Amino acid sequence: MKLPLSGLWLLIFHIWLPHVLAQAKNETAKAETPKPVLRKFCSGTSNCLSNTNTIGIDKYTQLSMIYKGCKRIYGNIEITHVETKNNDSLDWSIFDDIEEVKGSVIIFNTDLQNVSFKNLRIIWGEQNACNHSVFISTNNNLKFVSMPKLRVINKKPIYIVKNPYMCYLNKIKWQELIDDDTSRLYLENNSEKCSDKKSFACDASCPSTSIGNSSKMQHCWFRGAKHCQDTYRTNCHCPGGCYKDPKDGQPKCCDSSCLGGCYGDGPTKCLACKEVNDDGVCRATCPKPKQMDFQLGQLVDNPDGKYTHFKYCVKECPEEMLIDDYHCVRHCMTGKAYDAESDSRECKPCNGNCPKICRVNQPINGLLLKNLTGCYEIDGYIDISEHYMSVKKNFTIKDLDVLKSVRVVSEWVRLQVQSAGEVLINDNIQLCYADTINWTGIVTGKPIAKNDTRSMVRIMKNQDKRKCESRMRKCDSNCDSRGCWGPGPKNCVACQHWKLKDECVQKCPEHNYYQNATTKECLPCESRECKLCTGPTAEECKLCYHVSIFEESRMTCLPECPESHYQRNDSTCEKCHDACYKHGCTGSGSSFGNGGCKKCEYALINHDNDKPFIEKCLIMNNSALDLCEQYGLNNYYATAARIEGAVELMCEKCDDECKNCTSSGRNVKSNGCACKHWAMDVQNDETCIEECKGPYYTVKDYTMAPNGLCKKCHELCDQNQDQACTDGTSAGCTECKIVGIKRRSNVTDEDYTECLSECPGTHPYIYNKLCSEVDIQGQLNLIYHTIAAILIAVFLFLGICVLMYFCRYRKTKRKLQIVELDNCADIPEMSPIDPTIRPNLNKLNLIATSELEMKTGKILGQGAFGVVYAGYWMPKEKKHGIRVPVAIKVVKDARNFEAEDEMLSEAMKMCQLRHEHLLRIIGICFHEDAMKMVTLLRPLGNLLSFLKKHRTNLGGRELLLYCYQISSAMKYLYERRVVHRDLAARNVLVKDVNRIEVADFGLSKILEHGKNTVLVETGKVAVKWLAIESLTDQIYNHATDVWAFGVTCWEILTFGQSPYQGMDLCGIRSFLRDGNRLAQPPNCSSELYQELLRCWMSNPDSRPTFVMLNERFHAFCTVPNLYYQNEKPNQDTVETGADSQTELLRELLEDTDFENPLDYFDSQTVPSSPTDSEVVGGLLFYENLKI
């Protein structure tokens, strides 16, 4: 029984148990005996010979409660100290159902006349408390003890003494019971009061055995047929007993697992089992509740498992038994213990020291009480009686503190004092807490006296309650209204909220515990690995600490996945594929390696570049021979594992030439190979091959049969040939290995070759492995030698001829070199140029004088060497009298050949160039008076004058457009390797408002191939447009044109202002060398001015090319308002170019200068040529300037 966890001493000493069992006295005997309820197992007793009467209950009632209806007694049958006075009518059939006794049968000091065990078959004698299997002694009135069905008294001695009326002991055949081991039998001082021992005879129906030669003795326990002894060893020498075979009536040995005989063959026919009885089947051991599942790699529930309870297999151990390694036991083995406060009865290894177990088999006295200190379990009983405790002087309640630690009492507790069942606590001046306890739930007894009106509980004259509270001696807040035994949450009578082990708490731990709403307890989850659960079973675990495994609807928490499972990303263990068996896996697949099995019990093998590898794991359902066929792998064979990862067997592919096989190789017999194509006959076996060639010939074609058959050619055939023979004879060889001889067939009259090991004497010579009568090889050698001699002679002759020719050639060559040196001409060396360059094939238009009408009175301009007149060109090819207005440039002095050469050079350059923004030449006229160059007439004049005159009507769009068109024309010249040298606003003509043309190519130069610059040391050029390197070294190239382009753009953006105003030549040079440049125009953006500065970089290589400038100014033209601010104050910043252009056209149409070219010449004054003087119109020039 379990005792309370706290306050045990107070209950033991102050709760008086007033004869609880006394009410049952005599009532059992008087009432009608009901039919007993059969019990498979009963504990019995283990008191041996001691008298352990319970106060208030008689001996018969005790025996009836213990043994009535029991079939198997786990302990002893102890009938001791029984008095039959006033009990003559008692029914002593309470032992009739007992079949087995684990311990002993003890009948001691009784007044009984007889005791019967009608169905008792085996006395095992294994109870340690008593040292006998049968102990019958000191029974003065006992006449017999009847055990008619007893078969075996096992192990310990049989002690029967001092029973004066037991007269039938000599009628018992003890050899039947103890297997001739008479040393265990001890009989003395029995049947002393039997008057005539010979008159005590057995019933005639009792079995008998022979004594001596003729006499026989019957065997019984007492007179009457029902007391006959059941004998089974007579005429049987088998250790387990015999039975009569129903076929022939002969005795046969019982099964080896039987004990005490049997009634048929096999372990199911035994009367008792030598080892264990499993539902009528004798076995060596019981099937264990847990069994190993090798595929899962863990213990699983065994549906047929049972526990071993003595000699029987049971599904559940009796309630009073513990469970220790699948056995039902009374005590845990050393090193193990069970938790008496939990519902589990399983013995588990102790964490540290095991709880102390004290064995008590006598009433507690003062001396014994000292030895019970620290006991967790009392193996026995607690009997606290005044008689025994009076031995200890000055006994106080404090002496019972040693029982505080007791949690389990294996038998019973009895308290016997003189009180009437009251609780009295008084005169304890330091005692608190006693008045907090609700005693009505603890003390349920009634006063002994009927008229006693006193309260069962009286608490008085203890410490004042207010003083207790002021000293904080009050119940913990977690205790409920029923009070507490002391301070802290561990001394509560009951908990206010929840109970965690011995302590009351406000709430249960979040992890590894659940709340039992019925008992208000915090109970641990089934597994320590369970982090969160809602109940005690594994199915109620909701969250695990590490990993979980699901089996059907049950979740089990584990520290890690078993070998038979793999861990998924969600911390659950998933079962490996069945093909992995017990080897574990890393995924759900049946493949080998990552995501599949770690090893394969049975593996499918394939090859990669002749290297074997495991393709996947297999499952063997039948035999190993059928492993591959189960998966339809007909061209595979099963073999022992021999590569890493395969354990038992593996299916490996047959050779490519086998349809199926039994092992690795191509041999038909040795490897069981069924050939796909050809079978080659080799040394009493056949080898499969792909083709029947080489030293083999075809016997049977494989296309006409399941497989073809090849045989080896004759040994005299040349084995190295692709087709060495056609049959197996020496005459069937394609080529002979040594020699052959030509023969003629008598059947076909055709020649054939027969291979021989050597030539016969009739054909001693060999030629091409053929025997011959004549020496063919000798004749051929003679011919070869003759031909070789002739060829050598021919080659010698030819060599002499070649040598003579070579000598003559060298002599002639030397003569020619001498003649060539004497007549050598001056031929310039050719310069290497790009082979893709082609000559300029543009045609220069030659104009006759008759086609020109020159207005000598209308001079457009003049210079140092020539005059420009207005006129008409009247081409003869055109009809209707077309007259084209033109500008005609005439050399002043026809004798100035240098001027005419420069004009011709300019005309040729203009003829080569074709661009929309370059002035187009019409042609040239070679007149006897002077050379004339004819170009198109542009009446709007040059850009410089145009900007100054129409400044108010020109905006940023037009100005940037002019810059962009000039860059486009210069880009064209750059790509044609032309350096202009005189780019300025004055040399740009206005075709219309939106189009300008670059003109005046008089100073331009074409760069020679292979050169990037040109050096000009004479002539006149405009200084203000020159780059620094041109001022210092007279160097001109595309980079100097870029400088001039920047100055020209500056002129356009400032509406024709003169650059470097007020500076002379030396001032400009110093200004530029000091790092100065033309200032930023007022309306010009910083981005646009930055582009001008890039054109004026000191290092020519740092300046942009015209390709880059063309792209940049194209971008400026797309959004001109971002880069130039118009001067007109009333012009909106978002005014379109079309509006500005319309205004400009209107002004030009109203302008008197914008008229027909014929009238235009009359109204214009002739401007001076920019080369007439050193300073003309504000332009500064120099001649032969060197710095």
Identify the CA nearest to 136 among candidates 144, 148, 127, 126: 144
**Which amino acid is residue 1113, in one-letter code?**
F
The model's confidence at residue 209, banded by pLDDT at 50, 70 and 90, is: confident
425 versus 1055: the higher-pLDDT residue is 1055
Q: Residue 305 and residue 369: Cα distance in Å, rounded?
A: 44
> What string of DSSP letters covers 53-83?
PPTTS-HHHHHHHHHTTEEEESSBEEEES--
Residue 62 has pLDDT above 50, yes or no: yes
The reported pLDDT for the residue numbered 345 is 83
Please give the structure tokens belonging to residue 1025.
């447009």
686 versus 1114: the higher-pLDDT residue is 1114
The reported pLDDT for the residue numbered 1101 is 93
Q: Residue 1007 and residue 984: Cα distance in Å, rounded?
A: 20
Q: Residue 416 and residue 975: Cα distance in Å, rounded?
A: 134
The model's confidence at residue 728, banded by pLDDT at 50, 70 and 90, is: confident
The model's confidence at residue 985, banded by pLDDT at 50, 70 and 90, is: very high
Cα separation values, 77 from 116, 136, 157, 174, Å = 12, 11, 16, 20
Question: Do the bridges between strand 988-992 and strand 995-998 make them parallel or antiparallel, or are there none, so unpaired?
Answer: antiparallel
Q: What percent of the chain has pLDDT over 70?
A: 79
At the topology level of CATH, where does 285-330 sit?
Answer: 2.10.220
The reported pLDDT for the residue numbered 139 is 92
Which helix (H) or strand (E) segment is 740 a member of? strand 739-744
The reported pLDDT for the residue numbered 1023 is 85
Q: Are 638 and 623 in contact (CB under 8 A)?
A: no
Cα separation values, 535 from 513, 517, 523, 572, 1170, Å = 8, 10, 8, 20, 115
Strands ordered across the beta sheet of 770-772: 751-756, 739-744, 770-772, 765-767
Q: Are 1040 and 1029 in contact (CB under 8 A)?
A: yes
Apex CA 529: angle with CA 524 and CA 535, to 5°?
35
CA 110 to chain centre: 80
Average pLDDT over residues 1080-1086: 93
Helix (H, G, I), strand (E, B) or coil at 810: helix
The reported pLDDT for the residue numbered 129 is 53
End-to-end Cα spacing for the chain: 131
1150 versus 351: the higher-pLDDT residue is 351
The model's confidence at residue 834, banded by pLDDT at 50, 70 and 90, is: low
Helix (H, G, I), strand (E, B) or coil at 651: strand
The model's confidence at residue 469, banded by pLDDT at 50, 70 and 90, is: confident
Helix (H) and strand (E) counts in the chain: 20, 69
The reported pLDDT for the residue numbered 974 is 92
**Which amino acid is residue 786, in one-letter code?**
T
Residue 367 has pLDDT above 80, yes or no: no
Helix (H, G, I), strand (E, B) or coil at 10: helix
- Residues 6 or more apart in contact with residue 506 via CB below 8 angstroms: 478, 497, 498
Q: Are 935 and 920 in contact (CB under 8 A)?
A: yes
The single residue listed with the structure tokens 């009784």 is 110
328 forms beta bridges with 323
Mind listing the pLDDT tens digit for each residue in 860-877?
A: 777 666 788 888 888 877
Question: Do the bridges between strand 39-42 and strand 70-73 make them parallel or antiparallel, or are there none, so unpaired?
Answer: parallel
Q: What is the DSSP letter of 164?
A: T
Q: Residue 105 and residue 1037: Cα distance in Å, rounded?
A: 139
The conformational region for residue 718 under phi > 0 = left, psi -120 to 50 = alpha, else beta, is: beta
Residue 559 has pLDDT above 80, yes or no: yes
936 forms beta bridges with 886
The reported pLDDT for the residue numbered 22 is 31
> What string of DSSP letters covers 980-1040?
-S--SGGGEEEEETTEEEE---TT-EEPPTT-S-EE--SSEEEGGG--HHHHHH-EESHHH
Q: Are 624 and 601 in contact (CB under 8 A)?
A: no
HSE at residue 235, side-chain half, CA atoms within 13 A, is 9
Please give the structure tokens belonging to residue 1.
């029984």
- 982 catalytically annotated: yes
The reported pLDDT for the residue numbered 397 is 54
- Residues 6 or more apart in contact with residue 483 via CB below 8 angstroms: 433, 435, 436, 437, 438, 475, 492, 493
Mind listing the pLDDT tens digit for each residue in 147-202?
A: 999 988 887 889 999 999 999 988 998 888 887 677 788 899 888 888 776 678 89
Mind listing the pLDDT tens digit for each residue in 216-240?
A: 889 999 999 999 998 887 778 887 7
Identify the CA nearest to 561 among candidates 298, 349, 382, 878: 298
Dihedral sign for Cα 283, 287, 288, 294, please: positive
The model's confidence at residue 997, banded by pLDDT at 50, 70 and 90, is: very high
Which helix (H) or strand (E) segment is 1109 a member of? helix 1106-1118
Average pLDDT over residues 257-264: 88
The reported pLDDT for the residue numbered 1177 is 31
Neighbours of 967 (CB within 10 A): 26
The model's confidence at residue 1033, banded by pLDDT at 50, 70 and 90, is: confident
**C-beta pairs of 701-704 under 8 Å, 24+ apart in sequence:** 702/675, 702/676, 702/677, 702/678
Residue 1133 has pLDDT above 60, yes or no: no
The model's confidence at residue 797, banded by pLDDT at 50, 70 and 90, is: very high
Q: What percent of the chain has pLDDT over 90?
A: 22
Q: Residue 419 and residue 457: Cα distance in Å, rounded?
A: 13
484 forms beta bridges with 492
Q: Residue 68 and residue 37: Cα distance in Å, rounded?
A: 8
Q: Residue 919 and residue 933: Cα distance in Å, rounded?
A: 13
The reported pLDDT for the residue numbered 249 is 80
The model's confidence at residue 1184, banded by pLDDT at 50, 70 and 90, is: very low
The reported pLDDT for the residue numbered 231 is 84
Q: What is the DSSP letter of 475?
A: -
Helix (H, G, I), strand (E, B) or coil at 1097: coil
Average pLDDT of the residues of the chain? 79
The model's confidence at residue 50, banded by pLDDT at 50, 70 and 90, is: confident
288 is in an annotated binding site: no
Mind listing the pLDDT tens digit for each residue in 577-616?
A: 988 988 899 898 888 988 899 999 899 888 888 788 888 8
Average pLDDT over residues 763-783: 86
Q: Are 899 and 885 in contact (CB under 8 A)?
A: no
Q: Residue 779 and residue 791: Cα distance in Å, rounded?
A: 19
Residue 416 has pLDDT above 60, yes or no: no
116 forms beta bridges with 146
The reported pLDDT for the residue numbered 1020 is 66
Average pLDDT over residues 56-60: 74
Residue 443 has pLDDT above 80, yes or no: no
The reported pLDDT for the residue numbered 996 is 94
Average pLDDT over residues 292-296: 80
Radius of gyration of the chain (CA): 68
728 versus 85: the higher-pLDDT residue is 728
Helix (H, G, I), strand (E, B) or coil at 129: coil
> What string of DSSP letters covers 351-381?
SSSPPEEEEE-S-B-HHHHHTTTTEEEEEE-
The reported pLDDT for the residue numbered 1077 is 94
The reported pLDDT for the residue numbered 722 is 81
Residue 537 has pLDDT above 60, yes or no: yes
Q: Residue 925 and residue 888: Cα distance in Å, rounded?
A: 10
Residue 1148 has pLDDT above 60, yes or no: no
pTM attached to this predicted model: 0.38
Q: Residue 515 and residue 536: Cα distance in Å, rounded?
A: 10
Average pLDDT over residues 1122-1150: 55
Residue 210 dihedral angles phi and psi, to the nearest 5°: -75, 145
> What string of DSSP letters covers 1124-1153?
B--S-TTS-TT--HHHHHHHHHHHHHHSTT
Please give the structure tokens belonging to residue 596.
């599949």
CATH 3.80.20.20 fits 353-424, yes or no: yes
772 forms beta bridges with 765
Least confident residue range of 55-64, 116-125, 658-667 = 55-64
Cα separation values, 5 from 251, 518, 994, Å = 63, 20, 115
The model's confidence at residue 901, banded by pLDDT at 50, 70 and 90, is: confident
At the topology level of CATH, where does 36-194 sit?
Answer: 24 nucleotide stem-loop, u2 snrnp hairpin iv. U2 a'; Chain A (3.80.20)
Q: Residue 65 and residue 59: Cα distance in Å, rounded?
A: 10
Q: Are 1048 and 1022 in contact (CB under 8 A)?
A: no
| Domain boundaries defined on the chain | 36-194, 285-330, 353-424, 525-573, 576-653
425 forms beta bridges with 459
The reported pLDDT for the residue numbered 558 is 84
**Which amino acid is residue 591, in one-letter code?**
S
Average pLDDT over residues 291-311: 85
HSE at residue 1052, side-chain half, CA atoms within 13 A, is 34
Average pLDDT over residues 471-500: 90
The model's confidence at residue 79, banded by pLDDT at 50, 70 and 90, is: very high
**Within this chain, domains 36-194 and 285-330 share the same CATH topology:** no
- Residues 6 or more apart in contact with residue 911 via CB below 8 angstroms: 842, 843, 844, 845, 921
Please give the structure tokens belonging to residue 1143.
């205004």
Which of the following is catalytic: 58, 655, 982, 1041?
Answer: 982
